[in-house]
Amino acid sequence: MHKLVLSLVACLLLAAPTTASAATGTAKGVDPDASAKTGGDTRTLVVGADIFIGDVVKTGPSGQVQIKFSDNTELVVGPRSSLTIEDYLLREDGSAGKLVVDTLAGTFRFVTGNAPKDRYLIKTPTGTIGVRGTAFDWANTDTGTAVMLYHGAVVVCATGGKCVTLDDVCDVAEYNTTDAAVIGHFDNIKGDARAIYKALFRYAVNQSPLLREFRINGVERCVNRTSTEGGPGSLSDPVTGKPSGGTTPPRQTPGFTFQPK
């Protein structure tokens, strides 16, 4: 009987996932005022803290978290932001079989890792961002979501089903629950709207708060260029250095992300 009990205990211990094996990522950089909540348990995040499936990561006015997942995917959670790690599946070769995050509010950066690019899905309050091998920033507001692309392509879809594709460096798209539109190169955004977008894309304006591995070469030129540097199409891809398409014309400027409800 004693041997049977010991055998059962051993089997249970082997079957139970350990904290280390359950971790999906690691907080590489943390500014104070950042936490992760699992169920009713809230813990303050510090550098080196593990991130788990089901965690709700939340930052305050001065908070920021830079997360690297097991497949080398990088995710930045900016100030006054929150998201849930909904699902993460790591394959035996170290690539991600699936990564799903639900971003609730705030500003973010995402750079894909080793997984097939269609295995990433980002949810927002007004729709989804489908990743096609990419680096981009986005911001959620009360009325919509704005996305700026640095490399690769993304497909953004409103909850109502309207989808548009971003595939040029420094291009911007917006969507809300019913509509989605490509605005085009950041140079097409003028006046008061330009200042608002620069506030939304905080890491395109200034990458100094980020660790070096979370920075993307040249992205500041998307928003900080002077008129003497040329119009859309003069930029190289800030990641590859190759000429960007840069020829996407402005299709419309709906202003979903800053119009009042």
Q: For position 225, what pLDDT does the model report?
A: 74
Q: Reply yes or no on whether the pLDDT at 243 is more than 60.
A: no
pLDDT-derived band of residue 24, with 50, 70 and 90 as boundaries? confident
Helix H or strand E segment including 22 = helix 19-22
Supply the mean pLDDT for the chain.
Answer: 82
Q: Is 6's pLDDT higher than 80?
A: no
Q: Given the DSSP bridges, would you call strands 82-90 and 127-131 parallel, antiparallel or unpaired?
A: unpaired
Q: Which residue has tokens 């004693």? A: 2
Q: Residue 211: count other Cβ atoms within 10 Å of its Cβ.
A: 14
Tokens matching residue 127? 């729709």
Q: pLDDT tens digit string along 86-111?
A: 998 766 555 556 889 999 999 999 99
51-54 contact pairs (CB < 8 A, 24+): 51/23, 51/24, 51/25, 51/26, 51/27, 51/85, 52/22, 52/23, 52/24, 52/85, 53/22, 53/24, 53/85, 53/86, 53/87, 53/88, 54/84, 54/85, 54/86
* pTM for the full predicted model: 0.82
Model confidence pLDDT, tens digit, residues 43-66: 999 999 999 999 999 999 999 999
